[in-house]
Amino acid sequence: MTRLLHISASPRSQASESLALADAYVAAVADRPDVDVEHWDLWDGSLPGFGPDATAAKMAVFGGDEPTGAAAVEWARAIAAFRRLDAADAYLLSVPMWNGSIPYVLKQLIDVVSQPGMLFGFDAESGYSGLLTGKKAVLVLTSAVYGAGRPASFGIDFQRPYLEWWLNWAGVEDITTIEFRPNLATDQADVLRAAAVDEVREAALKL
């Protein structure tokens, strides 16, 4: 059984282009008895914060100590979030571009689960090593204005390179990235959307 975790970073529900593409991916695997799909809407209130107590816990663990008190409580919440992520064999991330990058709630997830001994290991001589090995990921990335080849006045992409870097850093090497980036000033949206749907369906066949 392959466990697929769909992580949705858009708050726009049925109006979301990234979520619609992710839905097309999920629909393509829905009838497979060997695939179990879980949806994680990052806006549903289940994601813990990562403030002073959680930071203190992280630094304690990094230093070889055990967090205590309020720090231990926050650390337990971070562990629970990581376990939900780690339980999956494959990831589907549907992510709109916000201000050249990613929605803050996705960065919150990344900051919560990116912990020593969980998502990564660290050695003083060799540096970081990702621990989410053997998993695969599909990134569905959208933007309404930015697009490759457009002038810088239409934006710069800190979305795709950051997410691909983070996944690689975490140990995920098998990454498929699908982009839907229509320019609001053009009439090519329907053509580009159809092409993106074809891409996600093709990617689903490889799960």
Render pLDDT for 18-47 as a digit per residue (tens, 0 to 9): 999 999 999 999 999 999 999 999 999 999
Give every CB contact of residue 106 below 8 A, 6+ residues apart in sequence: 7, 9, 42, 93, 95
* Residue listed under structure tokens 């098998």: 174
pLDDT tens digits for range 82-118: 999 999 999 999 999 999 999 999 999 999 999 999 9
Q: How far apart are CA 60 and CA 150, in angstroms?
A: 46
pLDDT tens digits for range 124-161: 999 999 999 999 999 999 999 999 899 999 999 999 99
pLDDT, position 113: 97
Q: How far apart are CA 53 and CA 51, in angstroms?
A: 6
Domain boundaries, the chain: 2-205
Check: CB of residue 51 under 8 Å from CB of residue 74.
Answer: yes
pLDDT, position 184: 78
Give me the architecture of the 2-205 domain, per CATH: 3-Layer(aba) Sandwich (3.40)
Which pair of tokens denotes residue 47? 């994601």
CA-CA-CA-CA dihedral for 193, 197, 202, 203, to nearest 10:
90
Q: How far apart are CA 99 and CA 42, in angstroms?
A: 18
pLDDT, position 21: 98
In what helix (H) or strand (E) does residue 137 lie, and over which residues does it extend? strand 136-142
pLDDT, position 185: 65
